[in-house]
Amino acid sequence: DQQVKQNSPSLSVQEGRISILNCDYTNSMFDYFLWYKKYPAEGPTFLISISSIKDKNEDGRFTVFLNKSAKHLSLHIVPSQPGDSAVYFCAASEKTSYDKVIFGPGTSLSVIP
Amino acid sequence: NAGVMQNPRHLVRRRGQEARLRCSPMKGHSHVYWYRQLPEEGLKFMVYLQKENIIDESGMPKERFSAEFPKEGPSILRIQQVVRGDSAAYFCASSPGKGASYGYTFGSGTRLTVV
């Protein structure tokens, strides 16, 4: 069973426009959410996170929105740049004794110049 | 990904051989996590270790796979008698404390190919 879902395997956006990547989760015990970015042949790198006590967190061009009632979060990138082309993983953790992080399957973003 | 060192970057093994994947966490990090990425799939949790202890191995296949994080030296993910289905990218991450809020730093991964 997939606890973190990213239903769009891929997304193409024009440079300068907004990229919106979506993520849904099923486990209501998740209380911390993260986005990671991954280039080919490299490991994932941390992008931005949000705690369940917030509904928005912003860092430069990146904003994450959390809708707990809908069990949905989204990552907004504005303006999108060609260097943003990568696979984006949504991830979540549950407040257990060790806060294991569960990743979604990823969305491949292509930003077209 | 500077700081978390994984080696080798690429590993080719014949069916039935053993694969040993190494992970040196960032300095000061005592928590290590192993993830596997199968082709066209996301990252699947395998095991969480602290120094000399396995905390959670719920994602590890029941047979042939083992992991350790000794007091001295890197963490090792060991796969015995590899099969073609073990071909994947294996990523190690480390953190300075327990929990996602500390942030995981990932290595560049080891790409295992079983022929």
The pLDDT value recorded for residue A99 is 67
The pLDDT value recorded for residue B41 is 80
Mutate to test the interface with A, among B43, B48, B91, B95 (most CBs of A within 10 A): B43
Tell me which residue of B83, B39, B42, B40 sits closest to B59, measured CA to CA.
B42
- pLDDT tier for residue A97 given thresholds of 50, 70 and 90: low
Contact B55 A49 (CB under 8 A): no
The letter for the amino acid at B38 is: L
The pLDDT value recorded for residue B1 is 46
State the Cα–Cα distance between residues A58 and A41, nearest whole angstrom.
Answer: 28
- Could you give the dihedral angle defined by the CA atoms of residues A28, A98, B57 and B84, in that order, rounded to the nearest 10 degrees? 70
pLDDT digits (tens, 9 = 90+) for B52-107: 899 999 999 999 999 999 988 999 999 999 999 999 999 999 999 887 888 889 99
Asked if B101 reaches chain A (Cβ–Cβ under 8 Å), the answer is yes
Q: Is the pLDDT of residue A91 over 70?
A: yes
The pLDDT value recorded for residue A104 is 94
Contact B99 A99 (CB under 8 A): yes
Contact A32 B43 (CB under 8 A): no
C-alpha to C-alpha distances, A98 to A10, A31, A60, A91, B9, nearest whole angstrom: 32, 13, 30, 15, 28
pLDDT digits (tens, 9 = 90+) for A17-49: 999 999 999 999 899 999 999 999 899 999 999
Using an 8 Å CB-CB cutoff, list chain B residues near A6: 42
Contact A103 B45 (CB under 8 A): yes
Q: Is the pLDDT of residue A63 over 50?
A: yes
Of B42, B55, B108, nearest to A42 by CB-CB distance is: B108
Give the nearest chain B residue to A102 (CA atoms).
Answer: B45
A vs B: CB pairs below 8 A: 64
Mutate to test the interface with B, among A24, A98, A102 (most CBs of B within 10 A): A98
